[in-house]
Copies of this chain bind each other. A is one copy, B any other.
Amino acid sequence: MSRHELTAAEVADRVGGRVAGDGTVRITGVESLEAAAAHQLSFLGNPRYRGQVLPSQAGVVLVPEDFEAAPPAGRAWVVCRDPSAAFCAIVAHFAPPPPPVAPGRHPSAVIAADARVAESASIGACAVIEPGAEIGERTVIGAGCYIGHGATVGADGHLYPNVTVRERCRLGERVIVHSGTVIGSDGFGYVPGQDGHTKIPQVGIVQIDDDVELGALVAVDRARFGRTWIRRGAKIDNLVQIAHNVVVGEHCLIVAQVGIAGSSRLGRGVIAAGQVGIAGHLTVGDGATLMAQSGLSKDVPAGTAVMGTPAVEHRRYARNLYNVGRIDELAGRIKALEAEVADLKARGAGGPPSKPA
């Protein structure tokens, strides 16, 4: 028997829910509704999976309060306010512990004599910390990371292996950065000329505030001057491009492969879905939603949902889609009118009404 085994009743206790069905059902792990076996717990987090609850083999399912069907014999529901959050708690119960963090400085790390690295920080193998850099208390710098001259990483951060932070960039507290991400590369700026483009120096920095998480393989360019700024609590998914002098507002959610061009500013709580592109020098208001693959060419007011390239208010986008779909029908009506008008003209021209065909 697993050390972590739980009964349905124990699950209900842990998540503040109530049991429907057999509270003694035992589970030893978690799985999706589709894949779960009798000794596993699952959850109904997205209404689209509602029809999978009864057919599922899961011994215990976390369900929302409005889920009405009763559990079959030998199974149990745990009814709770937020099955998705409850599921997180049970997942954590069964999850293997995270890999241990080796305390201190790996002997293969290359740490400048005048870098200020907290005693409680962990510096991984082959990491490089340049002169003047600072690493806060309990922060983990993964293997192969590069922290440039004078860059700072606040307390309780975690940079996974092979992250690059260029000179003078500043990361706040509790910042998480996934592998491969590059912070502080030069912005893309040139003065065009007859014999080629002359590079505009990019002498600003990147500032990343507290509680930000950056995914894998994200590029955040340093400012031309001043700062590129990712504000508190923003969460950025993989392969996102943040150009120079962009401001990403507090608690924004930026989904994978979004690109934000230079000097654009996102307000608080903006959601940019996957593969959205935002042209330069735009303002996106608080709480706006940018639907997947949209391409913004002008400002977006607060609270608005937009879609398409160029992006328009999403109901207008839907109306346009509907209208494109009925062009064939409209063309058919035009053709019918043309025939009727020709017929009317023919009658009028020839005198008496034409006979029916």
Contact = CB atoms under 8 A, between A and B. Distances in A.
Interface of A: 30-32, 35, 46, 48, 82, 84-85, 88, 91-92, 95-96, 98-100, 106, 108, 110, 124-126, 128, 130, 142-144, 146, 148-150, 160-162, 164, 166-168, 176, 178-182, 185-186, 188, 190-191, 196-197, 199-201, 203, 211, 213, 215-217, 219, 221, 224-226, 232-233, 235, 237-239, 241, 243, 245, 250-251, 253, 255-257, 259, 261, 274-275, 277, 279, 281, 292-293, 295, 297, 308-310, 319-321, 323-328, 330-331, 333-334, 337-338, 340-341, 343-357
A274 B261 contact: yes
> Which of A188, A190, A239 is most buried by chain B, counting CB atoms within 10 A of its CB?
A188
The 9 closest A-B pairs by CB, nearest first: A347-B354, A95-B203, A323-B327, A99-B149, A219-B238, A185-B216, A110-B125, A164-B179, A146-B161
Contacts of A164: 144, 160-162, 179-180, 216
28 contacts: A32-B226, A46-B281, A88-B201, A91-B201, A98-B167, A99-B148, A99-B149, A99-B167, A110-B126, A144-B146, A144-B164, A162-B164, A166-B179, A178-B182, A188-B256, A197-B235, A237-B241, A239-B239, A277-B293, A293-B293, A323-B327, A326-B331, A327-B327, A333-B334, A333-B338, A348-B348, A351-B353, A351-B355
A90 to B, nearest CB: 9
B92 A203 contact: yes
Report which residue of A84, A232, A292, A310 has the largest number of chain B beta carbons within 10 angstroms of its beta carbon: A292
Given A216-B182, A323-B328, A353-B347, A256 B238 contact: no
Nearest to A142: B146
Given A92-B201, A190-B235, A217 B217 contact: yes
A144 B351 CA distance: 92
Given A46-B281, A180-B181, A343-B354, 18 more contacts: A30-B226, A82-B191, A95-B225, A99-B148, A99-B150, A182-B216, A196-B211, A216-B219, A241-B257, A257-B257, A274-B277, A323-B331, A327-B330, A341-B344, A344-B345, A347-B355, A348-B353, A352-B352
Contacts of A297: 292
B274 A259 contact: yes
A348 B346 CA distance: 11
Contacts of A237: 188, 241
A168 B97 CA distance: 11
A39 to B, nearest CB: 15
Contacts of A259: 239, 256-257, 274-275
A219 B217 contact: yes
A309 B337 contact: no
A326 B226 CA distance: 45
A324 B317 CA distance: 10
A274 to B, nearest CB: 5
